[in-house]
Amino acid sequence: MNKKEVLEIRRLLNKDNCRIERICGCYVDGHKEKKLEMKEAFLSLPEEEMFKYIEIFKKTLSGTIGKNLLNLDFPLEEELGEGRQKMLLALRDSALKDEALLDAFYDQVIHTYLFPENYLILLIYGVYDIPSRTSDGLEMDDASDYMYQFVLCSICPVSLSKPGLCYDADSNSFIDKIQDWMVQKPDKGFLFPAFNDRNTDLHSLLYYSRNPEELHPEIPEEMLGCPLPIPAKGQKEAFSTLVEETFGEDCGFEVARSIHENLNQILEEKKDDPEPASLGKAEVERLLADCGASREQLEHFEEEFDREAGERGSLMAANVANARRFEVKTPDITVQVSPDRTDLVETRTLDGQECLVIRLDGEVEVNGIRIRPEHTDD
């Protein structure tokens, strides 16, 4: 799913244009015991309660594609016979009305999810009559050819509120606040089936992780049967390794600056594209060549790429680039520069030592103190 398709589904999760028909849930304690189960027609909930749930579901469809939101495909073996796709299809087709199926799903989450504290499993079922679009992108609400039926799962930590004093209006005094078990923002979740090309894609799902560095692979891989791509941090590390191994002794400051500038140019060119900028083997090789890698240095590139990213792997440009800053780091010093002002930084050899030189441009502050550049007479 791309950004536009995710946003289209998010717009269904609101009170005025709600496509949610049913909500179910199971509260699990830190001992992996079910404490409460719920099932309701979503629109029968009290309005304030409904808004709170909507916030949770919208959060499950938020973040950056390739980091927090991952498009995952089912291997063929998971779509056949008793593959793990079967339960998800059954949940969707039952409209979450099969209690035995719901219990089996909750049990599967409890058995698989490695989380030692309390949490809430939420499931919603929705139906979307997909409006057709004209060639210029305008929706025709009265023209629809397809229906999208989906299940969205959100797994939310439940933790005790902080103790403290609070004002009690009845007694007009401050009293000790009673600690309550509060449902937090979702930590994990998924949308099935995926909404690819504005239509049902039973071969894929969209997986959500609040922290892209803690994907909890046991959920997508063990429970859902979908292999994970390299996480965002792993992609950055793989790309850095490819650059360092390709350039070897020639991997200097100017090479790093050139790669930074080229990557940010790719991101800028793709910023209005709903599909995230992706770098396959050929694109990375071309990037390194544009930044000065010779034919000899690229001789073993394909083997190195296959080892780091997989034979058919790709790297998200947003995961390997730093669009927010240009950073130079030593064990004792970190220098951060605006990404479009890398021209202010250069390396020079002074008194036999390689030095980082920063041109002072405009007002300068040190620990909040405005200073005047020192001028020396030659």
Of 29, 49, 31, nearest in space to 160 by CA = 29
* Nearest residue to 112 via CA among 72, 79, 144, 155: 155
Q: CA 174 to CA 152: how far, in whole Å?
A: 42
Tens digit of pLDDT for each residue in 63-88? 999 999 999 999 999 998 888 999 99
Residue 63 CA to residue 78 CA, distance in Å, equals 27
Are 157 and 255 contained in the same domain? no
The Cα 4–Cα 2 span in angstroms is: 6
Show which of 228, 263, 281 is a domain's final residue: 228
Is residue 378 situated within a structural domain?
A: no
Q: Which residues contact 252 (CB under 8 A, 6 or more apart)?
A: 347
DSSP letter (8 states) at residue 161: P
Asked if 116 and 30 touch (Cβ cutoff 8 Å), the reply is yes
The confidence score (pLDDT) of residue 178 equals: 82
pLDDT at 301: 93
Same-domain pairing of 258 and 224: no
> What is residue 322's predicted lDDT score, i.e. its pLDDT?
84
Q: Does 70 map to a domain?
A: yes
- 192 and 265, same domain (yes or no): no
In the prediction, which pLDDT does 189 show? 97
d(CA 342, CA 327): 9
Q: Is residue 247 part of a domain?
A: yes
Assigned domain for 377 exists = no
Residue 343 maps to a domain? yes
Residues 237 and 222 in one domain: no
Are 73 and 198 in the same domain?
yes
- Check whether residue 175 and residue 87 sit in a common domain: yes
User: Is the same domain home to 220 and 245?
Assistant: no
The answer as to whether 13 is a domain residue is yes
Same domain, 292 and 339: no
Same domain, 77 and 117: yes
The total domain count for the chain is 3
Q: Are residues 109 and 243 in the same domain?
A: no
Residue 14 lies in a domain: yes
Q: What is the pLDDT of residue 33?
A: 95
Q: What is the pLDDT of residue 4?
A: 93
Containing structural domain, residue 339: 326-371
pLDDT of amino acid 138: 65
**Residue located via tokens 């209005």:** 272
As given in the structure block, the two tokens for residue 249 are: 């002794």
Question: Which domain-ending residue is among 167, 196, 228?
Answer: 228
pLDDT digits (tens, 9 = 90+) for 219-253: 999 999 999 988 889 999 999 999 999 999 999 99
If asked whether residues 249 and 367 sit together in one domain, one would say no
CB neighbours (10 Å) of residue 252? 12
Last residue of a domain, one of 177, 193, 228: 228
Domain-embedded: residue 172: yes
Q: Are residues 151 and 190 located together in one domain of the fold?
A: yes
Give me the residues of the chain with pLDDT under 50, please.
none
